[in-house]
C-alpha cells in the first residue's frame, strides 16, 4: 500500500537524522506509530515537496529503536 511506503520512508528519514548519525556502527530495528489529524493535506505536501513540509501537519510519535548487539 502506498501509505505504508510513505510511513516507511518517513521513519527511515527520522532514524537517519536522529540515530544513524549518532551511532553509525549500530544495527537496529525500528518501529513507529503515526498520528495525523490532517492526513490528506500532509501527504500531498510530502509527495510534492518532501518530508520537511509534511511534518508541519504530521505528528510522528512513539518511534522505538531496538539495537541488535
Which tens digits make up the pLDDT trace of 12-58?
777 667 666 666 666 555 544 454 544 443 333 333 333 433 343 44
Would you state the cell numbers that stand for residue 36, as one nine-digit string? 495525523
User: Can you spell out the DSSP letters for the chain?
Assistant: -HHHHHHHHHHHHHHIIIIITT-TT-EEEEEEEEE-SSHHHHHHHHHHH-HHHHTTT-EEEEEEEEEE-
Mark 17-54 as b/e (b = at least 16 C-beta within 10 Å).
eebeeeeeeeeeeeebebebeeeeebbebbeeeebeeb
pTM flag (> 0.75) = no
**What was the pLDDT predicted at 48?**
35
Amino acid at each position: 500500500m502506498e501509505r505504508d511506503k510513505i510511513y516507511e520512508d518517513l521513519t527511515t528519514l527520522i532514524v537517519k537524522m536522529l540515530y544513524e548519525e549518532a551511532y553509525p556502527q549500530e544495527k537496529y530495528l525500528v518501529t513507529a506509530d503515526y498520528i495525523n489529524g490532517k492526513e490528506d493535506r500532509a501527504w500531498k505536501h510530502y509527495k510534492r515537496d518532501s518530508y520537511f513540509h509534511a511534518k508541519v501537519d504530521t505528528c510522528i510519535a512513539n518511534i522505538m529503536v531496538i539495537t541488535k548487539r
